[in-house]
Amino acid sequence: MARKSTKTLKKNSGEGSGAVTDVGAKGVSKALAATTDAETDVPGPSENPATNLIIHDIAMRAAGRVVRHTMEKGLLRGRYGGSGAKAIIENRSIGQALVSSLIARLATRSLPGALLVGGGLVAKTLYDRGQSKRTAKRSGDKTLRKMAED
């Protein structure tokens, strides 16, 4: 199977030139080339490279979800206890998950997107710090407790 040129791939990737993922992909490619004989094969249990890519995608998404939920529960556990943290994470609405996913995608696709999202997070943090500590904590607790109840 002939390989596509990198120019063709960059045009269709949706990511800017020199993105962080491009640098990481080069590292993965070098590690793969050093450990396998065939540089053009997509490693996996199937002979079909598209199937192997789907398998890798599902495995990485599942692992990412487990790591993300573990971190979130660990961060919430100290204040809300184990069962409260679990309820907060598991009762997140589809809308909240979708918005978070879209914002993360915007931040990782381009430098302007990363600056926009990062600037928004800085602005929200400064806004929260501008409120009294008691008001900010009360507002956050109210939101998270409502999530735990649903």
- Residue-by-residue DSSP string for 82-96: HHHHHHHHHT--HHH
Whole-number pLDDT of residue 60: 92
Q: Residue ranges of the domains in the chain?
A: 47-90, 94-150
CB 42 within 8 A of CB 51: no
pLDDT computed for residue 150 by the predictor = 67
Q: What is the pLDDT of residues 86-143, one digit of tens each?
A: 888 888 889 988 999 899 999 988 899 999 999 999 999 998 888 887 888 888 888 8
Quote the tokens at residue 114. 């990363």
Q: Alpha-carbon distance 119 to 26, whole Å?
A: 29
pLDDT at 115 (0 to 100): 95
pLDDT of 144 strictly over 80: yes
For residue 8 the two structure tokens come to 């063709």
Name the amino acid, one letter, at 86.
Answer: K
Q: Is the pLDDT of residue 8 over 50?
A: no
Q: What is the pLDDT of residues 37-65, one digit of tens each?
A: 655 677 788 888 888 889 999 999 999 98
pLDDT number for residue 9: 47
Residue 17 is predicted with a pLDDT of: 53
3-state secondary structure 15-57: CCCCCHHHHHHHHHHHHHHHHCCCCCCCCCCCCCHHHHHHHHH
CA 58 to each of CA 48, 64, 70, 147: distance values in angstroms, whole numbers, following the listed order: 16, 10, 18, 28
Residues in Cβ contact with 129 at an 8 Å cutoff, skipping those fewer than 6 apart: 136
User: What is the predicted pLDDT for the residue at 7?
Assistant: 47
Q: pLDDT for 15-39, tens place per residue?
A: 455 566 778 788 888 877 777 765 5
Average pLDDT over residues 58-83: 89
